[in-house]
Homo-oligomer: A and B are copies of this chain.
């Protein structure tokens, strides 16, 4: 069954903050990866299995718009949605939200390219395109 969006909850740890008392801007890309990983899992095959089959998805482009700071101990809701498909690349869109403070924290996107173990771009396997297409 195709999956096109998922969300996870993530508790902000102390080590993710910086001395401005907010989550460090580089941490958001870890959050993006965490929810992307769960989108894979929910599609029926984990990204780990994807790699074991000889496919890799390095990130080609990433961006994040920081709208309101995430704070220590916030319970964040991180959403990942399948964006645009190209022949050998796929984009994902992200939203980070803090329900308790009713606050949009950040939005972002990543574009990933499908490569083999030699780093050469290849077409996505059909099990993957089937699973992540509505």
Q: Which residues of A contact B (CB under 8 A)?
A: 11, 13-15, 17-22, 24-27, 29-30, 33-34, 37, 46-48, 56, 58-66, 69, 72-73, 110, 119
Q: Are B18 and A18 in contact (CB-based, < 8 A)?
A: yes
Tell me the minimal C-beta distance from A108 to chain B in angstroms.
9
Which residues of chain B are within 8 angstroms of A72 by Cβ–Cβ distance? 19, 48
Contacts of A33 in B (CB 8 A): 13-15, 25-26
- The contact of A26 among B17, B29, B37, by CB within 8 Å, is B29
CA distance A90 to B111 in the complex (A): 25
- Whether the pair B14, A24 counts as a contact (CB closer than 8 A) is yes
Kindly state the separation between the CA atoms of A65 and B48 in the bound complex, as whole angstroms. Answer: 24
B64 with A48: CB separation less than 8 A: no
B contact residues around A18 at 8 Å (CB)? 14-15, 17-19
Q: Which of A13, A24, A66 has the most CB of B within 10 A?
A: A24
A24 cross-chain contacts in B, Cβ below 8 A: 14-15
Most chain B beta-carbon contacts within 10 A, residue among A22, A46, A48, A110 = A48
Query: Can you list 22 A-B contacts with CB-CB less than 8 angstroms, sorted by A residue number?
Result: A11-B34, A13-B30, A14-B18, A14-B19, A14-B33, A14-B37, A15-B26, A19-B22, A20-B56, A25-B58, A25-B59, A25-B62, A25-B110, A26-B26, A26-B30, A37-B73, A48-B72, A48-B73, A58-B69, A60-B66, A61-B64, A62-B64
